[in-house]
Amino acid sequence: MVDLKVKIGRMELKNPVMTASGTFGYGIEYQDFIDLSRIGGIVVKGTTLRDRQGNAYPRMAETPSGMLNAVGLQNKGVEYFINNIYPDIKSFETEIFVNVSGSTIDDYIITAEMLNDLDKIPGIELNISCPNVKEGGMAFGTSCLSAAQVVKEVRRVYKKELMVKLSPNVTDICEIAKAVEAEGADSISLINTLLGMAINAEKRIPVLSTVTGGLSGPAVKPVALRMVWQVAKAVKVPIIGMGGIMNATDAIEFLLAGASAIQIGTANFIDPTVSIKVLEGIEAYLVRHKFSSVNDIIGALEV
Amino acid sequence: MKKEMLDLIVKENKKLNDQYFLLILGSDTILPEMYPGQFVEVRVDNSPETFLRRPISINFVDYLKNELWLLVQIVGEGTRKLSLCKQGDLLNLLLPLGNSFTIPSTTDSKLLLVGGGVGIAPLLFLGTKLKEKGIECDFLLGGRSRDNLLQLDDFSAYGNVYTTTEDGSFGEKGFVTNHSILTNKKYDLIYTCGPTPMMKAVAAYAKSTNTECEVSLENTMACGFGACLCCVTDSTNGHVCVCTEGPVFNISKLKW
């Protein structure tokens, strides 16, 4: 029996396999396909203080080995989440994180405060990296000053696991990581999507209604892996790595690069059972290489 | 209804013409119950260009033979690759997805099923279900030319078939909304699936005659089961996913 338990900040996950926000709904959407209790954690859809309709259709473009999305944080707001969704998911036997986004620092503070009271939500993932909203989102995550400020303010009111999700659309992601660590982030997740664009040449128009969108899928994996490796060396808090993970080998690469846990995103759309396959693949790898614990391979890259 | 991920066997890949093919898929296990209007998400393969699954509506389910039919038009790389499937190949599908057309509770309803191009696909399955319930229906099928009118023999087993072609090569010349049946007959409910301009014209006709109307939308999507929120349409309830709230919508729910 290999030990799959990992520590991320102030909490322990039964295994390092999580699902990424915006790709896994509220978990409910996947119940027909998998046993949710087997995965380490779920990060539910980006939640904002108020209801958001998101951007106009079309919001998605398939690109080589990936996709662009411009959903724009469509959700019914934190109050709706607490009253209507939380009661249905709180019995899931996995750790449920809520991804929190906002247009202003006050939005972030109020939303985090409201979620702090929910027993079965052990943590939030602070989204300072959404590229698809006009104000807020990525605007907070692309300068050290604003990233530090929003983390500092949320840290004051939020008492549980505070995971901060970083944008790759910056010059030096390590500087941002250090800034959020200094203000009390318990863990850091990365990467959010890379800003990209697709064009319909025949019609001479952009494919997305917003012109630009966030790129995800295996196309971004090398970039994500590099950033996880750099950030893992730059900070002491645990890293949750993501970006184009399609199978167990991809996930193991992120662990070797220094991630203590991983999130699976876009791959869920293609194979809704992929998270279980990744989990089983990690376990098989550990057995095959005679490691007794998944912790033995975290940051074990030999350079 | 539980959604499943299944590997189905290609029993036959019938080339209908240069643009269209019919995939007949089978399974060792009993196919789950499916309803007309629902769709499947087909995994094409792992090539970079066809990264996501392709949503394809259910054309027909033969429960006696345990067969699922998919009528496909070649519109891009994904459907082109699917057109190359050979007998014995395995295809990975998510199914059944989405909601379905409303089946009237009374058998005396006058129903018209209007399809254009590959949009006729779910109407065949709907026609078979209506017939099972003892409900008669009319089909009004349109295409650019004779080549775009498919499965006419199959349709004629389940109701009267009326046709239009834009070039006049078959049936009445013009669009489906120009067909004489619409001026000669009054319906209680119209179902339509096809190109958006056609469905909008059918919806406008239905509104002008106070007829109930259900349309089947075909927005681009990533997941097909309500997780990605990419396929939204603007409804009276704001943005809703076509894959879970639809693909079938009563036109009163849409901002058309």
Among candidates B2, B43, B51 on the partner chain, residue whose Cβ is nearest the Cβ of A67: B51
pLDDT tens per residue, range B172-204: 999 999 999 999 999 999 999 999 999 999 999
Which CATH number fits the domain that encloses residue A84?
3.20.20.70
Residue A216 contacts residue A92 (beta carbons within 8 Å): no
Instruction: Give φ, ψ of A66 to 5 degrees.
Output: 175, -170
Residue B145 contacts residue B116 (beta carbons within 8 Å): no
A149 found inside a domain: yes
Q: CA of B41: which chain A residue's CA is closest?
A: A270
Return the axis-axis angle of helices A221-234 and A173-182, rounded to nearest 10°.
50
What are the chain A neighbours of B225 within 8 Å (beta carbons)? 29, 272
Per-residue pLDDT at A106 exceeds 80: yes
Average pLDDT for chain A:
96
Model confidence at A136, in pLDDT bands (50, 70, 90)?
Answer: low
Residue A250 contacts residue A6 (beta carbons within 8 Å): no
What are the chain B neighbours of A56 within 8 Å (beta carbons)? 234
Kindly report the nearest CA distance between residue B93 and chain A, in angstroms. 10
Q: Determine, for residues B233 and A57 on separate chains, whether the beta-carbon distance falls below 8 Å.
A: yes
What are the chain B neighbours of A264 within 8 Å (beta carbons)? none
Among candidates A33, A60, A271 on the partner chain, residue whose Cβ is nearest the Cβ of B230: A60
What are the chain B neighbours of A66 within 8 Å (beta carbons)? 51
What pLDDT is recorded for position A137?
72
Model confidence at A284, in pLDDT bands (50, 70, 90)?
Answer: very high
Mean pLDDT confidence for B115-123 = 97
Q: Is the dihedral of CA B196, B202, B207, B210 positive or negative?
A: negative
A207 found inside a domain: no
What are the chain B neighbours of A60 within 8 Å (beta carbons)? 220-222, 228, 230-231
Kindly report the nearest CA distance between residue A211 and chain B, in angstroms. 15
Mean pLDDT confidence for A197-210 = 97
Cα B114 to Cα B175, B208, B214, B216, distances in angstroms: 11, 16, 10, 11
Mean pLDDT confidence for A126-136 = 81
pLDDT tens per residue, range B14-48: 999 999 999 999 999 999 999 999 999 999 986 88
A201 found inside a domain: no
Q: Where are the domains of chain B?
A: 4-97, 111-216
Q: Is the dihedral of CA A207, A208, A211, A217 positive or negative?
A: negative
pLDDT tens per residue, range A10-55: 999 999 999 999 999 999 999 999 999 999 999 999 999 999 999 9
Calpha distance A275→A34 (Å, rounded): 9
Calpha distance A174→A165 (Å, rounded): 13
Tell me what percent of the residues of chain A surpass a pLDDT of 70.
Answer: 99
Q: Determine, for residues B51 and A271 on separate chains, whether the beta-carbon distance falls below 8 Å.
A: no
Q: CB atoms < 10 A from the CB of A171, how many?
A: 7
Instruction: Give φ, ψ of A241 to 5 degrees.
Output: -95, 140
**CATH homologous superfamily for B4-97?**
Translation factors (2.40.30.10)
ipTM beyond cut 0.85 = yes
A111 found inside a domain: yes
Q: Determine, for residues B5 and A270 on separate chains, whether the beta-carbon distance falls below 8 Å.
A: no
Per-residue pLDDT at A82 exceeds 70: yes
Q: CB atoms < 10 A from the CB of A219, how many?
A: 21
A63 found inside a domain: no
Q: Which tokens go with B21?
A: 């093919």
Specify the length of chain B in residues. 256
Residue A2 contacts residue A283 (beta carbons within 8 Å): yes
What pLDDT is recorded for position A140?
86
What pLDDT is recorded for position B46?
65
Burial A47-86 (b: 16+ CB within 10 A, else e): bbbeebebbebbbbbbbebbbbbbbbbbbbebeebbeebb
Q: CA of B54: which chain A residue's CA is closest?
A: A270
- Please enumerate residues of A whose Cβ is less than 8 A from a Cβ of B: 22-25, 29-30, 32-33, 45, 53-54, 56-60, 62-67, 69, 71, 74, 217-218, 266, 268-273
What are the chain A neighbours of B233 within 8 Å (beta carbons)? 57
Q: Determine, for residues B227 and A29 on separate chains, whether the beta-carbon distance falls below 8 Å.
A: yes
What pLDDT is recorded for position B48?
84
Mean pLDDT confidence for B36-61 = 94
Q: Determine, for residues B5 and A272 on separate chains, whether the beta-carbon distance falls below 8 Å.
A: yes
CATH architecture of B111-216: 3-Layer(aba) Sandwich (3.40)
Among candidates A63, A74, A269 on the partner chain, residue whose Cβ is nearest the Cβ of B227: A269
What pLDDT is recorded for position A138?
77
Per-residue pLDDT at B49 exceeds 90: no
Where in the sequence is the domain holding A77, given as residue range(s)? 6-54+70-194+215-297
Kindly report the nearest CA distance between residue A144 and chain B, in angstroms. 30
What pLDDT is recorded for position B1?
84
Per-residue pLDDT at B93 exceeds 80: yes
* Residue A128 per-residue DSSP state: -
- Helix residue spans in A84-240 (DSSP H): 86-89, 105-116, 138-141, 144-157, 173-182, 221-234
Tally of domains in chain A: 1
pLDDT tens per residue, range A143-187: 999 999 999 999 999 999 999 999 999 999 999 999 999 999 999
